[in-house]
Amino acid sequence: MTALPVATGRRTLSTMLRLARSHPRDCVATGVWTVAAALATVTGPLLLGALVDAVGSRHRGSAGPLLALLAVVGVAGAILSALAQRAIVALAARITAALREKILGRVLTLDSTVVHGAGSGDVTSRVTEDMEIFSEAAPLLAEVFAAAVTVAVSFVGFSSLDWRLAAAFVIVFPVYALSLRGYLPKAGARYAAERRAAADRTQTILESLHGAATVEAFGMAPLQAERVAAASARATEAGISALRLSLWLTKTMNGAEALGLSAILLTGSLLVHGHVIAVGAVAAAALLFHRLFDPLGTLLGSFDDVQRAGAALSRIVGVAGMPGAEPVSVRAPDGPVAIEVRGVRHSYDGTADVVRAMDLTVPAGTSVAVVGASGAGKSTLAAILAGLLPSSAGTTALRDARGTVASADLGEAGRSRWIGMVAQDTHVFTGTLREDLTLAVPDADDHRISAALATAGARWAAALPDGLDTRIGPDGLHLDPAQAQQLALARIALADPPVVVLDEASAEAGSAHAHELEEAATALMRGRTAVVVAHRLSQARVCDRVLVMDHGRVVEQGTHDELLARDGRYAVLWRMWTMRTHTPAEPVQAVSGSSARPARG
């Protein structure tokens, strides 16, 4: 497993700053409004302090202007705070949107070896969970920023009263630092454990509900309910354990407040009795500090959320910033295309070769079937031929009337003009039938779409009440595996590439629809260069040539009839497939034994 990269703190920060800089207006608005709002918040208590002194000296004359100023500052502060909030949330939203596009754009073009190496779970969690953590934290980050600015400006406010009062205020920070030192090292692990447990609980619940028919059929409701209860109990315990930590944090927060207030009152009392400052300054300091309870609480209380958002962000930036292949502009194919494979070898883990020393030529307009047991390397070969998987060694080239193009150079955009593949896993995309198909060809009109569906044998599509506007996929009409396969075939028919690679295109359909799918696949192969990974041998029979693979090598090749005449592995497979003769007691022995002829290039 090669994990996906995680960006360093410095890189994450510089990426964020770069994204922020591309919205200069929002940046300026955020800075100006936030500082102005903080100034207003801090000025309020200072004016109240002045009022206290005016009361003390019975100086009525200054009361009117002070109260007027207080009113202006209060109202202005309120408006400025709202403006600051608006600006900063807008900035955060723009940065989030940019990040969303960046990471998905990068992930969609990730090399499949990278995805395979890192595990698709890691990739998915970066795009979904991490992105969600960050986007949900964005308003909080805005709040934290405002609180930090308010606390910083307050320090200026304390200093304007007396430097010793400012020093008394500063005493709270070591307390906060100590509190965080006790909290943070444990918090990361405990919150991560809590999230893991909660995710596991949700997954267990979902899988039980989705599998309700299985649970019922096996009569295993008590067992499954017990599993859910156990997962829920683990999540609850993890949550309570995390709770004890937040408790510690709130208590130290109260402690810091008590200490800060005491320090200000004690310092103030000494300074007033020493006739250094007036009572109003102390009253102002105390009121200011009382108003800081909230921002300070925000800063401390959201520390772990900020940390968590930061961790998510560095994982996002890590992937978004991965160097991608240079986009190459590839010419369109000219006429029929042949496939030429030279010395291709592939290994996923660097030790065991899944495909070994493969040389293969598929002449333009002809078809080749690849058959063999599971794990023989058929699907890997198909992915390499389709240009979706860069082989560990060797070259795969496509040749048309104008010359040769290496399939590794085709790139995401160019590939679909040359080659289309129906992979083993099919997917029905959420949306309408039309939207699903136009993913392959965005500007296809309804006429072309219907024609493609007809080629794929999807007669059911014509009978849909809402036609191409019928919603399909998870929240719409449920398509069975055979229909999903037809959709996959229809997308290729729509894209109309000169080369098609079909990886077990009729595999999971069940027996009822296998015929239809085979007909559709055959229709799609017509007039094209085709490679078909087939475990239904009737599909192999219609191909011009058949390759039998075993342990990454081609062990037999020829036409269907030639191979039957040779009476080797293919012939055994064919007999098993049709069951026209009596089955040997242990047919598997015959296939994996050494009686078959040695491999030929």
Q: Are 368 and 362 in contact (CB under 8 A)?
A: yes
In the bound state with another protein, the residue whose beta carbon lies nearer, of 352 and 579, is 579
In the bound state with another protein, the residue whose beta carbon lies nearer, of 355 and 388, is 388
| Shortest distance (Å) from residue 570 CB to another protein | 11
Residues listed for the chain: 601
Instruction: Identify the DSSP state of 478.
Output: P
| Shortest distance (Å) from residue 10 CB to another protein | 27
| Shortest distance (Å) from residue 350 CB to another protein | 19
| Shortest distance (Å) from residue 174 CB to another protein | 17
Q: Hey, CA dihedral for 56, 57, 62, 63, is it positive or negative?
A: positive
Angle at 430 between CA 428 and CA 434, to 5 degrees: 80
| Shortest distance (Å) from residue 234 CB to another protein | 10
Torsional class of 107: left (φ above 0), alpha (ψ -120 to 50), beta (otherwise): alpha
In the bound state with another protein, the residue whose beta carbon lies nearer, of 564 and 576, is 576
In the bound state with another protein, the residue whose beta carbon lies nearer, of 48 and 311, is 48
Helix (H, G, I), strand (E, B) or coil at 588: helix
| Shortest distance (Å) from residue 360 CB to another protein | 20
In the bound state with another protein, the residue whose beta carbon lies nearer, of 8 and 203, is 203
| Shortest distance (Å) from residue 9 CB to another protein | 25
- Chain position carrying tokens 């800063």: 299
From first CA to last CA, the distance across the chain in angstroms is: 33
State the amino acid at position 453 in one-letter form.
L
> How far is Cα 268 from Cα 280, in angstroms, rounded to an integer?
10
Question: Count of CB atoms within 10 A of residue 402's CB?
Answer: 11
In the bound state with another protein, the residue whose beta carbon lies nearer, of 28 and 229, is 229
Helix (H, G, I), strand (E, B) or coil at 359: strand
| Shortest distance (Å) from residue 508 CB to another protein | 5
In the bound state with another protein, the residue whose beta carbon lies nearer, of 32 and 90, is 90
In the bound state with another protein, the residue whose beta carbon lies nearer, of 337 and 537, is 537
> How far is Cα 209 from Cα 393, in angstroms, rounded to an integer?
46
In the bound state with another protein, the residue whose beta carbon lies nearer, of 245 and 363, is 245
Question: Count of CB atoms within 10 A of residue 173's CB?
Answer: 14
Instruction: Identify the DSSP state of 275.
Output: T
> How far is Cα 345 from Cα 356, in angstroms, rounded to an integer?
5
Q: Are 272 and 52 in contact (CB under 8 A)?
A: no
| Shortest distance (Å) from residue 109 CB to another protein | 7
Q: Are 563 and 597 in contact (CB under 8 A)?
A: no
Instruction: Identify the DSSP state of 467.
Output: G
Helix (H, G, I), strand (E, B) or coil at 549: strand
| Shortest distance (Å) from residue 589 CB to another protein | 10
> How far is Cα 213 from Cα 210, in angstroms, rounded to an integer?
8
| Shortest distance (Å) from residue 227 CB to another protein | 7
480 exposure class (CB count in 10 Å sphere: 0-12, 13-18, 19+): middle
Q: Where are the beta strands (DSSP E) in 460-561?
A: 471-472, 499-503, 529-533, 545-550, 553-558
In the bound state with another protein, the residue whose beta carbon lies nearer, of 229 and 565, is 229
In the bound state with another protein, the residue whose beta carbon lies nearer, of 81 and 391, is 81
Question: Count of CB atoms within 10 A of residue 213's CB?
Answer: 8
> How far is Cα 22 from Cα 204, in angstroms, rounded to an integer?
43
